[in-house]
Amino acid sequence: MSHKTFNIKSPEKEIVAHLVEKIDNLTKPKGSLGRLEELAIQIGSIQQTLTPTLTHPFHIVFGGDHGITAEGVSYSPAEVTPQMVFNFVEGGAGINFLARQHHIEMKIVDSGINYDFNGLEQLIDMKVRKGTRNYLHEAAVTREEFDLCIERGAQVVKDCHEAGCNIISFGEMGIGNTSSSSMWMTCFTQIPLDLCVGAGSGFDSEGVKRKYSILKQALENYKGDGSVIDILSYFGGYEMLMAVGGMLQAAELNMVILIDGFIMTNCILAASRLYPEVLEYAIYGHQGDEAGHKLVLDYLEAKPLLNFGLRLGEGTGAVCAYPLVDSAVRMINEMSTFKKASVTKYF
């Protein structure tokens, strides 16, 4: 199987001056709607229009298990992954009420969960394997599996796009995936591993130290070639790699990508190591409480919209931020100009 390629271009910049001019002539002091103005410019630029729209938003949750959990790197037991998938399907998780509140359609994808769901109707079966291998001892994901994950993540996004979606967000469910995110983060940013490792789903300081010790050993054991794909495969998770493929496909299709917390921020970081232009399509929903999240956001020069102390995952921070993105689009489309409203410019 050959490595899937994407055609991702930076949005044309010529329209930016026209977007700025339109926003500056709305009935408000120049710059007074702050980040909403910045968002409107970014979305107008992505869509190459002075009247951007948000249509049929989707939120995709990818689920996968991680072999490294055998080493005790997570506070939560591995059986929580399939248990939470049933909760998603039944509509009882944190992400469910938020998606309902903001009229966002959800897709739940089994990327590689260590469980037989036996034809669970609401679950999209894209299982690569029942959990990754343990990267303390070997690569978590083979090259063939890497290619499969990128392809499958891209396909889910294509399906959303064909349903009319032009703004998409991603979440994850996978006990142990903060560990994999920390490994990607240190490898791609050179930020020391101890600053990338946090409490995950609930470790105390002693638990974090044990987690760091195991991950440090895994990093020392790594004897790969240091290439982007090798690092992604060695330390990655199936659900994380499908999110990377989804993000790259979304950018190719000129979709707005709403980024969630620590894990999804590391997924967009990883995606950018393959195609740097993907970052221009990203809006960062929030800064979470996981220790390394602020550091990786700062590295990406990202400006998160919210800081609510969230650390749930599932994509909750991205979906919480959706109304602000909606507000930006409403601003540029629904506010009157000074001329139309017969208001004297007052700045």
Q: Hey, which residues are catalytic here?
A: 314
Question: How far is Cα 186 from Cα 141, in angstroms, rounded to an integer?
Answer: 18
Burial degree of 54 (CB within 10 A; 0-12, 13-18, 19+): middle
The structure tokens listed for 5 are: 């390629």
Residue 147 C-beta-side C-alpha neighbours within 13 Å: 7
Decide if 257 contacts 166 (C-beta within 8 A).
no
Question: How far is Cα 312 from Cα 188, in angstroms, rounded to an integer?
Answer: 24
Question: How far is Cα 209 from Cα 198, in angstroms, rounded to an integer?
Answer: 9
Torsion of CA 34, 35, 40, 45, to 10 degrees: 110
> Residues 6 or more apart from 90 whose CB is under 8 A from it?
none
Question: How far is Cα 23 from Cα 214, in angstroms, rounded to an integer?
Answer: 51
- Give 259-299 as a DSSP string: E-SHHHHHHHHHHHHH-GGGGGGEEE-B--SSTTHHHHHHH
- Give 113-159 as a DSSP string: -SS---S-TTEEE---SSS---TTTS-SS-HHHHHHHHHHHHHHHHH
Question: How far is Cα 240 from Cα 235, in angstroms, rounded to an integer?
Answer: 10
Smallest CA-to-CA distance from 128 within 191, 62, 190 is with 62
